[in-house]
Amino acid sequence: MSLIVQKFGGTSVGNTDKIKAVAERVLKCKQQGHQMVIVLSAMSGVTDQLTGYAKAVQKVPDLREMDMLLSTGEQVTIALFAMAVKQAGHDAISLLGDQVRITTDIMHTKARIKNIDTELIRKHLNAGKIVTIAGFQGVTEEGDITTLGRGGSDTTAVALAAALKADACEIFTDVDGVYTTDPNICKSARKIDRISYDEMLELASLGAKVLDIRSVSFAKRYKVPLHVRSTFTETEGTWVVEEDKIMESMLVSGVTYNKNEARITIKNVPDQPGVAAKIFLPISDAGIVVDMIIQNTTTGDLTDMTFTVMKNDYDRALLLLDKIVKDIGAESVSGSEDIAKISIVGVGMRNHSGIASTMFHILSKEGINIMMISTSEIKVSCIIEEKYTELAVRALHDAFALGKENLPVEEQDPVPAQY
Amino acid sequence: MSLIVQKFGGTSVGNTDKIKAVAERVLKCKQQGHQMVIVLSAMSGVTDQLTGYAKAVQKVPDLREMDMLLSTGEQVTIALFAMAVKQAGHDAISLLGDQVRITTDIMHTKARIKNIDTELIRKHLNAGKIVTIAGFQGVTEEGDITTLGRGGSDTTAVALAAALKADACEIFTDVDGVYTTDPNICKSARKIDRISYDEMLELASLGAKVLDIRSVSFAKRYKVPLHVRSTFTETEGTWVVEEDKIMESMLVSGVTYNKNEARITIKNVPDQPGVAAKIFLPISDAGIVVDMIIQNTTTGDLTDMTFTVMKNDYDRALLLLDKIVKDIGAESVSGSEDIAKISIVGVGMRNHSGIASTMFHILSKEGINIMMISTSEIKVSCIIEEKYTELAVRALHDAFALGKENLPVEEQDPVPAQY
């Protein structure tokens, strides 16, 4: 008997018919003899509706009250889900973050989980019930309701799986797994069967939307085998697991892109100690996140500084920099929104040299100029002109042969926690 | 400085604009220097919508899960209300039944309040906040959410007022008070300024819909001065308070009617010990509430038994009785849905004889036949043909001079807790 945590997102429980379908799917799994903990999001559209109400009564909604408001969405879904399971003939019980004692810090609307008490869940599981738990929400030690921010229900599911030492945590969504690249722009994109936590973290932070980065990092820390799969099919999705030898033998696992960044360049910055802080402190104080930063080699006592910010922070950043440029005595600030970040990710890079240069070579062969480069142990990212995005993705995907299964199936380790 | 509990119903907080209007009204009262506790219902329509969802997933919705589901309605309103107060420039905090520790028994969907912990409320009141509390909900000692059934938010408000020893509990609704009778059928109906708990209890149980009977009974037990008034005007409504001399000097306080009952007669019941139990036990086991019961004087060893049930239980009751009549050897069962119950209520009846006979005389003068009579210390009810309802109400209202102020204003006691 395994203990499995399953999480279904808002589109999977978007109306009462879908909730009934999810109940039946869960029941099938339960009838195979597993203990089931089901984490649900709010019905799709509900969170937006509630946010609309909030903005109608308070210009900048109070964060504590926002959590009080938004947490109702998941409460509705779990109650209806428990009813649907009971209608299908099995016992079930719904529990709130507060009832489970999913304690968090007090950072309303983006709280972090500190502890989960598993006693009540275990009691109901041992009584044979399907236990459904509201995603996205927790409670402070003082008893105030908190929410976990974007992707919070994924985090709830992974944290519960870790606390319960579950055999697997399955994230059901509207896609059937993690792909080697975006299937919409590259026909040969292939679903990845197994990927390491680190690769998934890079993919998530580089633009792949399928999993929330916090939940992957949680899964990595507590070694929770994560299974991303589709609500609407029975096929296996992608397992996110600990790195193994087979993964290491693959040079690149995926190609990803992100069109949401903009590039800013400050020309002729006086190359003095402390000048970088003078530029970036006011920017971070304004809540603007800077991604890549590149400082060109100094010519004389002047240097150029180039970095990227999110597109929706671009105008605000330029405005701030106009003043900063004068203060530090630099020449000018300029930038472009027509850029894209193309990245290749793979744990194999650690032991293989030449991956980065292969990437540069392929891009240059296609006549694509590289504006900025950033690397980590397991990824290489290049900033290029936005119009070349699709061409670059396809060229890299082909060059690293990602459309083909890298190994025959019989050589692969069995999927973990194969229940 | 007074402590005032105010309750606003679903139509008063039906959308975000109305919630803002309520916030401003409450703020005006707060600015007079009072401590304010605001109990809110769900936005009108929400409870019906949620109930619809529940029925779509489970034929007979599980009661625990129903409470989990329905309690979200009030949670949304209090969060939005707290935001609206903050937008208007004052500090506020919303609290759930669970957070306040409004503990109830475990009778889901119709739980009774056992205890209220006032510590957290007092803490926030002393910090100068307007405290808004979800109506209709509580929590069991085991931590399960419960709801209090129809009119539950009124009960929450009165129970909080009792626990906090509030100076007044104001119930804001869409009518401006308790009337001597239904203004829709009697033009001379007059708003009652003050009425005793007992009279209000009779009026509520006899068909007046303005206050939930449980909340009145709670108010009576804990001597909470209740003020029923309109959300949409500034005028004083009706105070429901302890009986006083002035009230006793009035013969009748109000005339009420109820068209929701049906009459059933069993002919020639063998007049033996235990026969009434044989009739009424199966009926109450079926969840059918019997209101008036009359057993005519026995002729020989047979008797007729007449009683009333709610109209929507009528068919089910007849079906049950077909079998019972055979079992007990009675002659036949018959009935009518075309009846109405007309009642006069007043604490003055205790000390004045002849009120009942005046009522009978007036009805007969109008040619109205009385089918059944039932009396208590402070009320007389008659079952008549339904078509005479309006005529009877107007005739009684006139005869007892309810359209006129019974006493000049200067002779009345000051309104209690005049804040």
What is the reported pLDDT for A273?
81
Tell how strand A226-230 and strand A168-173 pair up. parallel
* Coil, strand or helix at A339: strand
CA distances from A359 to A306, A340, A367, A375, B397 (A): 22, 15, 13, 12, 94
Answer yes or no: do B61 and A76 touch at CB < 8 A.
no
The DSSP 8-state label assigned to residue A250 in this structure reads -
d(CA B328, CA B338): 27
Write the single-letter amino acid at A371: M
* Beta carbons of A143 and B99 less than 8 Å apart: yes
B259 touches chain A (CB under 8 A): no
The beta-strand segments (E) located in A290-362 are: 290-295, 302-310, 332-336, 339-345
Cβ atoms of B356 and B376 within 8 Å: the answer is no
* Burial category of A409 from C-beta neighbours within 10 Å (exposed 0-12, middle 13-18, buried 19 and up): exposed
Spatial CB neighbours of B405, under 8 Å, sequence gap ≥ 6: B190
Q: Does pLDDT of B301 surpass 60?
A: yes
pLDDT by 10s per residue, chain A, length 419: 799 999 999 999 999 999 999 999 999 999 999 999 999 999 999 999 999 999 999 999 999 999 999 999 999 999 999 999 999 999 999 999 999 999 999 999 999 999 999 999 999 999 999 999 999 999 999 999 999 988 899 999 999 999 999 999 999 988 889 999 988 899 999 999 999 999 998 888 776 677 888 889 889 999 999 999 999 898 999 999 998 877 777 788 999 999 999 999 999 998 888 888 889 989 988 888 888 888 876 667 888 889 999 998 999 999 999 999 999 999 999 999 999 999 999 988 887 778 888 999 999 999 999 988 888 888 999 999 999 999 999 999 999 989 876 543 333 344 443 34
* B143 contacts on A by Cβ (under 8 Å): 99
A58 touches chain B (CB under 8 A): yes
Q: Tell whether A143 lies on the interface with B, counting CB pairs under 8 A.
A: yes
Whether B139 has its CB under 8 Å from any CB of chain A: the answer is no
Q: DSSP letter string over A129-155? A: PEEEEETTEEE-TTS-EEE--TTHHHH
Assigned CATH for B245-413? 3.30.2130.10
Q: How many CB atoms lie under 10 A from the CB of residue B124?
A: 18
Residue B185's nearest CA partner among B369, B365, B389 is B389
Locate the domains of chain B by residue range.
3-174, 245-413
- Whether the CB-CB separation of A205 and A343 falls below 8 Å is answered with no
Q: Does B161 touch chain A (CB under 8 A)?
A: no
In the block, residue with structure tokens 């306080």? B253
CA distances B269 to A400, B139, B274, B300, B333, Å, are 95, 48, 12, 11, 10
Q: Is B192 on the interface with A (CB under 8 A)?
A: no
| 3-state percent breakdown (helix, strand, coil) of chain A, nearest 5 | 40, 25, 35
| Residue B365, φ and ψ in degrees, nearest 5 | -60, -30
CB contact, 8 Å: B62 with chain A? Answer: yes
Does the beta carbon of B190 lie under 8 angstroms from any beta carbon of chain A?
A: no
Count the Cβ atoms, other than its own, within 10 Å of residue B334. Answer: 13
Over the Cα atoms of chain B, what is R_g? 24
B69 touches chain A (CB under 8 A): yes
With contact defined as beta carbons under 8 Å apart, do B77 and B61 qualify? no
- The domain A245-408: what is its CATH number? 3.30.2130.10
B102-104 and B113-116: which strand pairing? Answer: antiparallel
Query: How far from the centroid of its chain's Cα atoms is residue B189's Cα?
Result: 20
Q: Minimal Cα–Cα distance from B131 to chain A, Å?
A: 12
N-term to C-term CA, chain B = 8
Residue B1 — very low, low, confident or very high, per pLDDT cuts 50/70/90? Answer: confident
Using the Cβ of B98 and the Cβ atoms of chain A, whether some distance falls under 8 Å is answered with yes
What sign for the dihedral angle of Cα A112, A114, A120, A126? positive
pLDDT tens digits along B338-381? 999 999 999 888 877 788 889 999 999 999 999 888 888 889 99
Element housing A3 (H / E): strand A3-8
* B58·A83 Cβ contact <8 A: yes
Return d(Cα B165, Cα B158) in angstroms, integer: 10
Are B79 and A93 a contacting pair at CB < 8 A? no
pTM of the model: 0.83
Mutate which: A69, A132, A145, vs B, most B CBs within 10 A = A69
Provide, rounded to the nearest whole percent, the portion of chain B with pLDDT above 70: 95
Which 3 state secondary structure label does DSSP give A262?
strand
Residue to mutate among B48, B60, B68, with most A CBs inside 10 A, is B68
Query: B311: Cβ–Cβ under 8 A, 6 or more apart, which residues?
Result: B260, B261, B262, B337
**Residue A144, both tokens:** 């105030």
Interhelix angle A213-222/A197-205, rounded to 10 degrees, is: 170
Q: If you classify domain B3-174 with CATH, what class do you get?
A: alpha beta
Q: Which pLDDT tens digit goes with each residue over B17-35?
A: 999 999 999 999 999 999 9
- Please answer yes or no on whether B50 and A93 come within 8 Å at the CB atom: no
Q: Do residue B65 and residue A94 have CB atoms under 8 angstroms apart?
A: yes
Q: Identify the pLDDT of residue A2.
A: 93
Distance (Å) from the alpha carbon of A398 to chain B's nearest alpha carbon: 48
Best probe of the A interface among B19, B50, B63, B69, by most A CBs < 10 A, is B69
Is pLDDT larger for residue A409 or for residue B190? B190
Residue B406's pLDDT is what? 52
User: CB-based contact (8 Å) between A130 and chain B?
Assistant: no
Scanning every residue of chain B, which has its alpha carbon at the shortest distance from the alpha carbon of A62? B83
More confident residue, B246 or B268: B268
- Kindly report the nearest CA distance between residue A302 and chain B, in angstroms: 50
d(CA B198, CA B345): 9
CB contact under 8 A, B87 and A54: no
Say if CB B31 and CB B1 are below 8 A apart: no
Report chain B residues whose CB lies below 8 A from the CB of A19: 57
Cα nearest neighbour of A79 on chain B: B65
Q: Which amino acid is at A24?
A: E
A19 → chain B, closest CA residue? B57
Interchain contact, A84 vs B57, CB within 8 Å: yes
| CB-defined contacts A:B, below 8 A | 107
Sheet (strand A35-40) strand order? A92-95, A130-134, A35-40, A3-8, A168-173, A226-230, A238-241, A194-196
| Cα–Cα nearest to A151, from A119, A193, A109 | A109
Q: Does B68 touch chain A (CB under 8 A)?
A: yes
Q: Is A82 on the interface with B (CB under 8 A)?
A: yes
Chain A residue numbers touching B59 (CB-CB < 8 A) = 87
Q: Does A49 contact B at CB distance below 8 Å?
A: no
| CB-based contact A68 B78, cutoff 8 Å | yes
HSE, side-chain direction, 13 A CA sphere, residue B215 = 29
Nearest CA distance, B3 vs chain A (angstrom): 24
Q: What is the mean pLDDT of residues B392-417?
A: 67
Q: Measured between CA atoms, how close is B25 to chain A, in angstroms?
A: 15
Cβ–Cβ < 8 Å for A176, A235: yes
